[in-house]
Amino acid sequence: MPIDTISAMDIRIDDLRGAATIALLEAHRQNMFEHSPPESVHALDLDGLRQPGITFWSAWEGDVLMGCGALKELNAEQAELKSMRTADGHLRKGVAAKILQHIIAVARNRHYKQLYLETGPVAAFAAARALYARYGFRECGPFADYPEDPYSVFMVLDLTDAQALE
């Protein structure tokens, strides 16, 4: 795990209206389009993230945005991790791990049994795939309405597994 260099990080529900949050999400989507063909980009835009059933969090150190992530309910037992992103100036500080821990805890508190995600197979997504694997996610087939896609890696975390990392 990365060395925790964060003194105090506040993870809070975000209304997706702040300039820093909007800029981070625009950078996130732009990055997805740089590494995947358009039909394989599944990052939600602002309107998509504002839909019912999606909770979006941003992580702050004082007034500095460090990262974000979202949880999308698929049904009463399953949810999907969306829009995980660390701001460029805060990479390798443990930001993504703390956001992921927060979202996993919320998913457990909501009594979901599985937490899914979709990410990319190319080198640009290797750090993300490694982070998810460290937290117990394993590769699986497509879920929800995702089709098979060579530009997608699907992963799932079994939230009912007592051995899964807390």
pLDDT surpassing 70 at residue 166: no
pLDDT surpassing 90 at residue 85: yes
pLDDT surpassing 50 at residue 67: yes
pLDDT surpassing 70 at residue 132: yes
Greater model confidence, 162 or 97? 97
pLDDT surpassing 90 at residue 54: yes
Contact yes or no for 25/49 (Cβ under 8 A): yes
- Residue 109, number of CB atoms within 10 A of its CB: 8
Q: Tell me how far apart the alpha carbons of residues 39 and 42 are, in angstroms, rounded to a whole number.
A: 8
The pTM for the full model equals 0.91
- The per-residue pLDDT for 38 is 81
- The per-residue pLDDT for 2 is 41
- The per-residue pLDDT for 68 is 97
Phi, psi (rounded to 5 degrees) for 83: 55, 40
